[in-house]
């Protein structure tokens, strides 16, 4: 059984991994659903992921109300997390990031699709949410639950949605799956952009995506990758 202590430790590691792999920079965040209370989630206050420690992690209600915030500022876009946990009972981890490699796809409308079996975890279909459609000209921040729910609706039951002129959201059944999906989403984008410069890429079929994802999310795939990312982020083998 996953304890709160395990969750907090792994959430710090996930922050560091995402920073080390270049998925997040000063911005972007990762949360976990509270292991003892599905109506709450764990997320840092407003701080760059690379610097986060367990002391920075705070408990939030799905509506984004913080416990024990003290004088710290919460992330302005925490509503992304609550809205997805609210809509998807099976989701245990959510990542929001602005990975540089993704922006060209949301910006141009070119669909992002899995280039290899390794990147199958991004899913066979990725939709793009545009805050302009319902909310007009804003600062692009998902600052209200209404906006968060609109984004969650676009995400549907898929692992990834792009956010136009902004970044993406990733939802996972557990923290490791969410981290793998976010890292490989970035790598897939980089490779697909390169392939498009010399020809027409060939993608996995939906059946191949399903079969490959099962393999990547098995211990053979997921534990091997997690150990590797931990090592690179400075944690030795875990």
Provide the minimum distance between the beta carbon of 208 and a copy of itself in the complex, in angstroms, as a whole number.
Answer: 5
**Active-site annotation holds for 77:** yes
Provide the minimum distance between the beta carbon of 189 and a copy of itself in the complex, in angstroms, as a whole number.
Answer: 9
Of the two residues 34 and 96, which places its CB atom closer to a copy of itself in the complex?
96
Provide the minimum distance between the beta carbon of 35 and a copy of itself in the complex, in angstroms, as a whole number.
Answer: 26
Catalytic residue among 77, 86, 101, 177: 77
Tokens representing residue 134 in the block: 């319902």
Of the two residues 2 and 214, which places its CB atom closer to a copy of itself in the complex?
214
Of the two residues 77 and 86, which places its CB atom closer to a copy of itself in the complex?
77
Provide the minimum distance between the beta carbon of 36 and a copy of itself in the complex, in angstroms, as a whole number.
Answer: 29
Distance CA 78, CA 99 (A): 18
Tokens representing residue 222 in the block: 């997921």
Of the two residues 88 and 135, which places its CB atom closer to a copy of itself in the complex?
135
The site for a copy of itself (CB under 8 A) is made up of 25-27, 46-48, 50-51, 73, 76, 98, 100-101, 103-105, 107-110, 115-118, 137-141, 164-167, 187, 190-191, 193-205, 207-208, 211-212, 214-215, 219-220, 224-225, 227-229, 231-232, 237
Active site residues: 77
């Amino acid at each position: 059984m996953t304890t709160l202590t395990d969750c907090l430790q792994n959430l710090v590691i996930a922050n560091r991994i995402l920073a080390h792999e270049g998925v997040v920079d000063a911005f972007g965040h990762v949360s976990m659903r509270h292991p003892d209370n599905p109506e709450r989630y764990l997320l840092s206050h407003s701080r760059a992921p690379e610097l986060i420690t367990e002391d920075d992690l705070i408990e939030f209600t799905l509506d984004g109300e913080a416990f024990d915030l003290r004088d710290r500022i919460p992330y302005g876009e925490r509503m992304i997390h609550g809205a997805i946990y609210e809509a998807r009972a099976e989701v245990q981890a959510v990542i929001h990031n602005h990975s540089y490699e993704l922006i060209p796809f949301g910006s141009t409308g070119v669909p992002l699709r899995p280039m290899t079996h390794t990147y199958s975890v991004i899913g066979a279909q990725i939709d793009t949410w545009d805050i302009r459609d319902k909310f007009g000209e804003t600062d692009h921040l998902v600052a209200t639950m209404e906006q968060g729910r609109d984004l969650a609706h676009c995400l549907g039951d898929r692992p990834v949605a792009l956010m136009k002129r902004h970044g993406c959201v990733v939802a996972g059944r557990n923290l490791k799956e969410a981290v793998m999906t976010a890292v490989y989403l970035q790598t897939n984008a980089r490779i697909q952009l390169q392939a498009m410069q010399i020809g027409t890429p060939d993608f996995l079929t939906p059946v191949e995506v399903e079969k490959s994802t099962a393999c990547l999310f098995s211990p053979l795939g997921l534990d091997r990758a997690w150990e590797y990312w931990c090592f690179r982020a400075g944690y030795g083998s875990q």
